[in-house]
Structure 1
Amino acid sequence: MTDQDFDVAAAEEKRRRHDVMAHVHAFGQAAPAAAGIIHWGATSCYCTDNADLIFIRDAIDLLLPKLAVIINKLATFAVKHKALPTLGFTHYQPAQLITVGRRAAQWAQDLLMDLEDISIVRADLRYRGAQGTTGTQASFLEIFRGDGKSVDKLNEILCEKAGFPTCYSISTQTYTRKVDLRVANALAAFGATVQKITGDIRHLANQKEMEEPFEKDQIGSSAMAYKRNPMRCERIAGLGRHLANLNKDASDTYAQQWFERTLDDSAIRRIYIPELFLSADAICMTLDNVVSGLVIYPNTINSRLMQELPFMATEHIIMKLVSLGISRQAAHEEIRVLSHQASDVVKREGGKNDLIDRIKKTEFFKPVWGVVDELLDPTHFIGRCPEQVERFCGEGGEIRKALMPYQKFLEESRDVELSV
């Protein structure tokens, strides 16, 4: 079609108030010899639904490699920092140590689940094909004079030309809107994932342990010149919130499809289907930029860790005392008293955690004075973090195997640069 043909279609739609029929008449003007058979046996959804399925399929095919690149970069980051101890948090309170790489591996695993879910939806996409006004194929059966095999052959040809393996076995006037819901659910879950990841990064930025990229001349706040606001992660979180809720539109639309079809699906699908993919694409581009330039501050990480580590080391100290023949209950009580005193120094006086100094000055702990510093080595508290990261993110690990279909994209990918 030419631009002039689209002008004709626009004029026809204004006249006839029907988008598909407007194009039918426009095509008829462009090809008069075929005008009498254009749209023969078809319904509007023969055009629009089949087109939507092509759009959805191609949009997913654009998203999946971008998501794979992000996962690959996070996995590389995780391996690089697999042994760097950092505070874990439960209830947003300091908990047993993990490593910087181990936390990134968790993010990568969640994104890999999204990649898998979206891939499953993509693999199961089919075509609507030539099904008629209520899906019975009656009109096409009429065209082929009752020959059902010819109708099947027509759909085989349509699927081959459109690049689909087959048609849905059952359609009404539309392909079931359950398909849209399945796609929306997979993408909405991705929206939830990025909110979780960027939430972690934003909290770590507040703690001055990790930051998203921040350019030399970037301004964090118009009023507070010192600020380094995590604007990229905030943008991702906002888009992720929108994406995570779009499946509600798809769910309600599917639920309200009475019998073989009602048209209240039309206007809303023209909004939420593009928004699903535009939101996910914007998230992918921005998240790629973030994970390409994550900055960590090991000295701050260690400083915060050492403020809490003395409390976490108390169990090791008790275990050592018991191995030397000292009562576990007696050791527990001595530790409890000193821990509360040290906690008061931190909370009430704003001082540093002096628990270890108190232990070194208390006669009861004299048998372990010589090994206390050794017991405070953070690497004693990270469990199997390095091994877990390597097994999941390293060469031959689960992530590398899952990303093998995207190897070409990984090799050709470039870091995304954001203009704003």
Structure 2
Amino acid sequence: MVNNNILSQRYVTDSINDIFSEEGKTLMERRIWLTVLKSQFELGLGGITKEIINKYESNLNVIDLKRIGEIETITKHDVKAKIQAFNESAQISGNEEQIHRGMTSRDLTDNVEQYQILCASKIIMGKKTSLLNKLLDLADKYEKTYIVARTHHQPAQLTTFGKRISFIAEELLYHIKKFDFFIEQYPLRGIKGPVGTQVDMLNLLGSDKKVYDLEKMVAHELGFEQVLDSVGQIYPRSLDFDLVSNLVGLSSASENFTNTIRLMAGYNLLTEGFKPGQVGSAAMPHKQNTRTSERVDGFSNTLKGYLTMASIQSGNQWEEGDVSCSVARRVFIADAFYAIDGQLESTLNIVNNLGIFPEVIKNEISDWLPFLASTLFLTYLTETGFGREEAHLLIKEISVQEALYVRDGKKNNLINSLAENSKIKGAGIKLFDLYSLINLKDDMIGTTYSQIERVREKSMPMIKKYGSDYNSRDIL
């Protein structure tokens, strides 16, 4: 019995699964062979005809994985098996067998893995910019929904739910820009031969220029802007570390967002969505768990594990290359994309189904509002003649005492206690003056509205480049 990949089966969309499936990888390998063959033909290599190219091209999708496996049990070499299977499906033999000329296995395998990485990265970017746009829409929607801001999970000041979402969006934007740079600068290994000297392709084509032109033609066809000039048998595995590091960065905004959702749901301030028929607990019928938010956190932890694997491979190759990295790379490259894709689907589902409970939010603000205005009181006292540290100590002592009263179940009476203090009275400050500081909540949230707008403005170039129309499927 063979167990399939649980991430791929349970969480991943078809677009990513197609790239990393065995059939999808074989198709990409054949595209590389065909691209090299066409380039060699265009550069004048003998033995290649349009008829041969057409035979290969018309059978590109005729993939028999069972047959490939049968051949590999004999050859004990996966690339040789795939060459033979492609020739068989194209009904090619003898001197018509033209694929893989001047190439070594790594000319195929390294380049196809990079091709998979580039294709998958572009898909992820389209989903990430869609998520960014949805977060910005949420920030606009809840721009004036006042909430209690917390630091160290303790009530601090007043903010808005839109503002809270906007700093998640800006974090995501930062990593989208980084990943955009990664995609633009990500270099193809190229057709370099067994040790990187290109001697076999040079002997075939006859000139440095033709070898260089062939690489450029292949890179262009596969969508790469950059090609490495000097490698050994493999491309530097530090590039894999860079990839997974970027994916971890991209995942951080979702993790921060859903951690906040979990905490707010614990106070019954919102819900990530709870669909008809969904069960929160087998034992406790009332429960509506934030299980999708928790899954997002789990995907982040998984990605960080793959980052550790990638870091071990970085800088760990001998001379022109070896296969010590093979086992780990077979796991973490595909699975890192599975994890980020699954996390994206989960986050998008939360964003689409998120709901707040306004009355509960208002009650929480009411409970904490005088404390949330402590910095306003501090500023006001300094403007009326108090020294900053003197005012801070005075407000702190009264606030701590009032907090103890509140924890004993008594009413929050901070403003009255401040107004009745002899020093504050002596400065001519009245109860009305202190209450006036908290009457207009917009005065308590600073530059919140302009911050939200600026984040949207600087997000638009990335959204326009990669799109914003992706919507998630229904998830388990």
Structure 1 residues 342, 142: CA separation in 2 closer, same or farther (over 3 Å shift)? same
Separation in 1 of the partners of 2:365 and 2:288?
A: 23
Tell me which residue corresponds to 2:71. 12
Q: How does 1:7-406 map to 2 (within 5 A)?
A: 7-29=66-88, 30-34=91-95, 37-145=98-206, 147-317=207-377, 320=380, 335=395, 338-347=398-407, 349-359=408-418, 365=425, 367-377=429-439, 378-393=441-456, 397-406=457-466
Any gaps of 5 or more consecutive residues in structure 1?
Answer: none
Q: For 1:280-301, what per-residue CA distance to the aligned partner results, in whole angstroms no more than 9, with x for missing partners? A: 1111111111112221223322
With 117-126 and 212-221 compared, the bigger mean Cα shift is at: 212-221
SS of 2:149's equivalent? strand
1: CA distance, partners of 2:179 / 2:201: 34
1:353, 1:329 → 2: CA distance? 24
- Tell me which residue corresponds to 2:21: none
Question: What code does the residue aligned with 2:462 have?
Answer: A
Cα–Cα, structure 1 residues 151 and 351, in superposed 2: closer, same or farther, change >3 Å?
same
- Contact 1:317–1:368 (8 Å) recurs in 2: no
State the Cα distance separating 1:262 from its structure 2 match: 1.1
Amino acid aligned to 2:474:
L
Partners of 2:391 and 2:312 in 1: CA distance: 61
State the TM-score, normalized to the length of structure 1: 0.88
CA distance in 1, matches of 2:375, 2:226: 62
Q: Is the 8 A contact 2:345 2:475 kept in 1?
A: no
Q: Distance in 2 between matches of 1:315 and 1:27?
A: 73
The CA distance in 1 between the partners of 2:340 and 2:437, in whole Å, is 47
| Residue 263 (structure 1) shift | 0.6
Query: Matches of 1:284 and 1:262 in 2, distance apart?
Result: 35
Q: Over aligned residues, Cα RMSD in angstroms?
A: 2.7
Q: What is the total number of aligned residue pairs between the two structures?
A: 411
CA contact (8 A) 1:195 1:241 kept: no
Report the Cα distance in structure 1 between the residues aligned to 2:117 and 2:402, rounded to whole angstroms: 59
SS in 2 for 1:270: helix
**SS in structure 1 of the partner of residue 150 of structure 2:** strand
CA deviations 1:315-335 (Å, max 9, x no partner) are: 544655676678989877765
The AA in structure 2 aligned to 1:150 is K
Structure 2 stretches lacking a partner, 5+ long: 1-58
Name the counterpart of 2:474: 418
Q: Secondary structure at the match of 2:187?
A: coil
* Offset at residue 34 of structure 1 (A): 4.0
- Worse-matched range after superposition: 323-332 or 220-229: 323-332
Counterpart CA distance in 2 for 1:385 and 1:337 is: 30
**Alpha-carbon displacement from aligned partner over 1:219-245 (angstroms, at most 9, x marks no partner):** 211111221110110111101111133
Paired residue for 2:56?
A: none
| TM-score with structure 2 setting the length | 0.79
Q: Tell me, what secondary structure is at the counterpart of 2:156?
A: strand
Q: Match of 1:263, SS? A: coil
Q: Tell me how far 1:386 sits from its aligned partner.
A: 1.4
Separation in 2, partners of 1:266, 1:227: 45
Give the 3-state SS of the residue equivalent to 2:188 in structure 1.
coil
1: distance between equivalents of 2:82 and 2:101? 14
Match of 2:3 in 1: none
Query: SS where residue 152 of structure 1 aligns?
Result: helix
Query: C-alpha displacement at 1:36, in angstroms?
Result: 5.8
Q: 1:62 to 1:86 in 2, by over 3 A?
A: same
CA contact (8 A) 2:184 2:225 kept: no
Q: How many percent identity over aligned positions?
A: 27
Q: Which amino acid aligns with 2:402?
A: A
Give the 3 Å change call, closer, same or farther, for CA 138–344 of structure 1 in structure 2.
same
Amino acid at match of 2:268: K
- Name the CA shift for 1:4/1:189 in 2 (closer, same or farther; >3 Å): closer
Letter in 2 for 1:418: D
Deviation at 1:336, TM superposition (A): 5.0
Per-residue deviation, 1:390? 1.8
SS in structure 1 at match of 2:362: helix
TM-fit CA distance, 1:38: 4.2
76-85 or 358-367, larger mean C-alpha shift? 358-367
Superposed CA deviations along residues 184-215 of structure 1, whole A, max 9, x for unmatched, are 11002123332222111111111222321222
Q: What amino acid sits opposite 2:147 in the alignment? A: T
Cα distance between partner residues in 1 of 2:285 and 2:278: 10
